[in-house]
Amino acid sequence: MLGRPGRLTLGMVSTLVLLGAISGCGLLSGTTHSPENSTGRVEKSTVTVGLMPIIDVAPVHIALKKGYFAEEGLTIESRNIQGGAAGIPGLASGDLDFSIGNWVSFFLAQSKGIDLKLVSDGYQARQRMFMIMTVPGSSVRVPADLAGKKVALNTMANITELTARSTLDAYGVDPKTVVFKEFPYPDMHAQLARKSIDAALMIEPFITHAERVIGAVPVVDTAAGPTQDIPIAGYATNAKFARENPKTVAAFQRALQKGQADANRRGEVEAVLPGYARIDPQTASLVHFGSYPMSLEQSRLQRVVELMKIYGMLSQNQQFDFRSMIVAQ
């Protein structure tokens, strides 16, 4: 059941199928016709993009399906990553040209000297799309029960950890008393069923899948209260790539922006989700969606920075200029 907060303070398929949804490396041109911009108007026509089989990246798949990238002279080579933080080494090394990632991981990397540029917003929270889930009959029923329990996150030092800590604090639970364990999203429902963890912070479509497959039940919504409407994820490149390939970056931005616009029509996302996340159409019709912003707004990202400082992910005294990371669209 969902717990009710006291005083708020700021203070799916099987694992094999889901992991096969996006191959380790796959060429995705999105169309069979010759691209309009194949005459050298981009510096690099085939770009590698780190993606995950999650609802956040639906705009990329919509843009591929409708040929938006091809129209800009781009072919997308996808790389499967476990979480936003997992894409950062690839960006730093140049193995990835672009990657989906959560803002916390991008900002942490930048604060540690990895020079990134933000090229597009990706996903913004709405209620019931970031949920701590458990199984029926669990001793965990409300947020207070999470103290001393094992809770799965896909990776540490990311937006899920930040929202979890902020939400626990809001319900009067010391986040330090919770034992966080890393598991890929596709594995979480199985770990819950085996009771190797007490709860899991899931996102869509894994929330709906777990509800249908193991009867998972919600404990608390971590995209509510102090984290309501918080920015979740976006797309980044490294600064060197952005400097050397400005036309390629701009082409990627234009194509993705069209995909973002289309993704705000629910039917567009439902149409592509079964294909890349390998969930059935009925599950796709039940998932709870966030929103797909059309532009990078500094005021939204500032919320993430402030929460990171509150929970020690960035130093309170650190002069962190995320604005310089943004590539104009």
197 and 137 Cβ atoms separated by less than 8 Å: no
Q: Spell out the residues 6+ positions from residue 266 whose beta carbon is closer than 8 angstroms to its own.
A: 289
Does 18 score more than 80 pLDDT? no
Residue 20: band (very low, low, confident or very high) from pLDDT cuts 50, 70, 90:
very low
Mean pLDDT of the chain: 89
Higher-confidence residue: 2 or 120?
A: 120
Most confident listed range (15-24, 248-257, 282-291): 248-257
Residue 317: band (very low, low, confident or very high) from pLDDT cuts 50, 70, 90:
confident
Residue 81: band (very low, low, confident or very high) from pLDDT cuts 50, 70, 90:
very high
Does 132 score more than 60 pLDDT? yes
Does 308 score more than 50 pLDDT? yes
Query: CA separation (Å) from 8 to 131, 166, 215?
Result: 18, 10, 29
pLDDT in tens, 36-55: 444 469 999 999 999 999 99
Does 27 score more than 70 pLDDT? no
Does 124 score more than 90 pLDDT? yes
pLDDT value of residue 159: 95
**R_g over Cα of the chain:** 19
pLDDT value of residue 35: 41
CA distance 81 to 66: 24
pLDDT in tens, 250-272: 999 999 999 999 999 999 999 99
Residue 1: band (very low, low, confident or very high) from pLDDT cuts 50, 70, 90:
very low
- Domains for the chain: give ranges and CATH numbers: 15-125+230-325 (3.40.190.10), 130-227 (3.40.190.10)
SS3 (DSSP) at 199: strand
CA distance 238 to 98: 8
Q: Which residues of 240-272 are buried (b: 16+ CB within 10 A; e: fewer)?
A: ebbeebeebbbbbbbbbbbbbebbeeeebbbbb
DSSP-derived pairing of the beta strands 217-221 and 199-203: unpaired
pLDDT value of residue 40: 60
SS3 (DSSP) at 99: strand
Residue 319: band (very low, low, confident or very high) from pLDDT cuts 50, 70, 90:
confident
CA distance 298 to 285: 32
Does 22 score more than 50 pLDDT? no
Does 56 score more than 60 pLDDT? yes
CA distance 71 to 60: 14
CA distance 168 to 174: 7
pLDDT value of residue 83: 79
**Using omega within 30 degrees of 0 as the cis cutoff, is the peptide bond preceding 231 cis?**
no
pLDDT in tens, 144-192: 999 999 999 998 989 999 999 999 999 999 999 999 999 999 999 999 9
Q: What share of the chain is helix, strand, coil (3-state, %, to 5)?
A: 40, 20, 40
289 and 310 Cβ atoms separated by less than 8 Å: no
pLDDT value of residue 69: 99
Q: Spell out the residues 6+ positions from residue 177 whose beta carbon is closer than 8 angstroms to its own.
A: 147, 148
pLDDT value of residue 137: 96
pLDDT in tens, 197-229: 999 999 999 999 999 999 999 999 999 999 999
pLDDT value of residue 114: 97
> Which residue from 282, 312, 294, 1 is spatially nearest to 139, judged by alpha carbons?
1
> Whole-prediction pTM value?
0.86
SS3 (DSSP) at 109: helix
